[in-house]
Amino acid sequence: MRLSLPSALTPGGTVTNGSGPEGEPSRRSALLNAIDRFGDYWVLGVFVIMVLVFGFLSPSHDLFTRASWLNVSQYAVEFLLLAIGQTFVIITGGIDLSDGAVLGFTGMVAGVVMQSLLGAHANVTLTTVIGFATALLLGAAIGFVNGYLITRFKLPPFIVTLGSLTAIGAGATPLINGGNEVINLPSQIGTIGQTLIGGWVYVPVLVTTVSCVIMGLVLHRTRFGLRTYAIGSNNMGARRAGIGVDNHLVRVYMISGLLAGLAGMMVMANFTDASPLAGQNDELNAIAAVVIGGASLFGGRGHMLGTVVGTFIIALLVTGLVLVGVSGSWQEVATGVIVVAAVAGDQVRLRLGER
């Protein structure tokens, strides 16, 4: 469609601009843009400082070793995939508390499916493919149910996804395979988890990186991404602009579910088994990563790169605190503090912007 103001706005003469508050918009916005930009990049500074501090505090600088990188990156994969979907959801002003539970559930279902296919002497590669398809489709289906309930019945995302978290994580998952781990999996699953590319990158890390790049481009460069921001920034305005807000939201929750399904397979590959305990509490790490990365829980703001940095801040916190000999519980405390600080920072920015 062409944008054409000309006939309407040309002949009427000039609209003069007062020299009052509008007189110096450029200086005003330059300052505010600087604040915005600082807000986007301070996490990167935090990350660098953390690397240095943990690096030099750790005995014989263990953090700077390949082993430690492999450790951190493998751990980060588990909730970075969730955080990608969560970024979309949070930008729309919603939240998905169910994605950790979906990770565990899809992994278990796919595990049982593959186990029984192997038991029936099915082709091993085909079995692996079916396993992946099962996890991804199941994840997307759960996302669809979440999105459908949220949009059609106007329910708060917090409540709907909390319900899914409980029903799936505490209810359905433990019923599968008698609540036991599934260990008879196709050998390819283990291969995916153990294969190191160039000695530095596990396959799940590569899969996550590719997902991140693709979804980052979708978020920042496509119509879908722009509308995701618009919905979170002004829901009614987006409706008035003709955007099918409800359908869009359903798709966003489906993305979150799909990526949780993928995460289920990646975690399975890491551990070469499907565990009913997989993914527990991962949703909190994912949400924390997104918020630390600069997303606003009120919607409209967030960045894929910020989410990546936020994820590594949390992964680094865990590994770093272990390396410097601090007990594991303190990692949870530190994560909590950082999340609250990030939300507080977001509030300060909002208030500065309103002035």
Partner 1 sequence: MSCSTDGVIPESAASGTGTPVIAVRGLAKHFGRVQALRSVDLDVHKGEVVGLIGDNGAGKSTLVNILSGALQPNAGTIWLDGQPVTFASPLEARHAGIETVYQDLSLAPDLSVWQNIFLGREKTVKGPLGLVGWLDRRSMTREAEANLDRTHIRIGSVNSLAGRLSGGQRQAVAVGRAVSWGSRVLLLDEPTAALGVEQQETVGELIRSVSSGGVPILLVTHNLPQVHRLADRVAVLFHGHVVADLRCSDVTVDDMVSWITGAALGTERHAD
User: Which residues contribute to the site for partner 1 (CB under 8 A)?
Assistant: 1-18, 20-22, 25-26, 28-29, 32-33, 36, 218, 221-224, 226-227, 229-230, 232-234, 236-243, 300-301, 353
Q: How far is CA 294 from the centre of its chain?
A: 12
Q: How far is the CB of 281 from partner 1 (least distance, A)?
A: 30
- Cβ proximity to partner 1: between 12 and 328 the closer is 12
Q: How far is the CB of 299 from partner 1 (least distance, A)?
A: 8
| Cα angle value 225/226/229 (rounded, 5°) | 90
| 190 CB burial (10 A radius; 0-12, 13-18, 19+) | middle
- Cβ proximity to partner 1: between 3 and 120 the closer is 3
125/136 Cα distance (integer angstroms): 17
- Which DSSP symbol is given to 215? H
Q: How far is the CB of 251 from partner 1 (least distance, A)?
A: 12
Q: How far is the CB of 70 from partner 1 (least distance, A)?
A: 34
**What SS3 state is found at 281?**
coil
218/88 Cα distance (integer angstroms): 10
- Cβ proximity to partner 1: between 133 and 214 the closer is 214
- Name which of 336, 350, 258 is nearest 298 in CA terms: 350
Q: How far is the CB of 3 from partner 1 (least distance, A)?
A: 5
- Name which of 187, 315, 191, 208 is nearest 262 in CA terms: 208
- Cβ proximity to partner 1: between 109 and 295 the closer is 295
- Name which of 314, 328, 321 is nearest 73 in CA terms: 314
- Cβ proximity to partner 1: between 35 and 277 the closer is 35
- Which DSSP symbol is given to 324? T
- Cβ proximity to partner 1: between 12 and 178 the closer is 12
Q: How far is the CB of 311 from partner 1 (least distance, A)?
A: 22
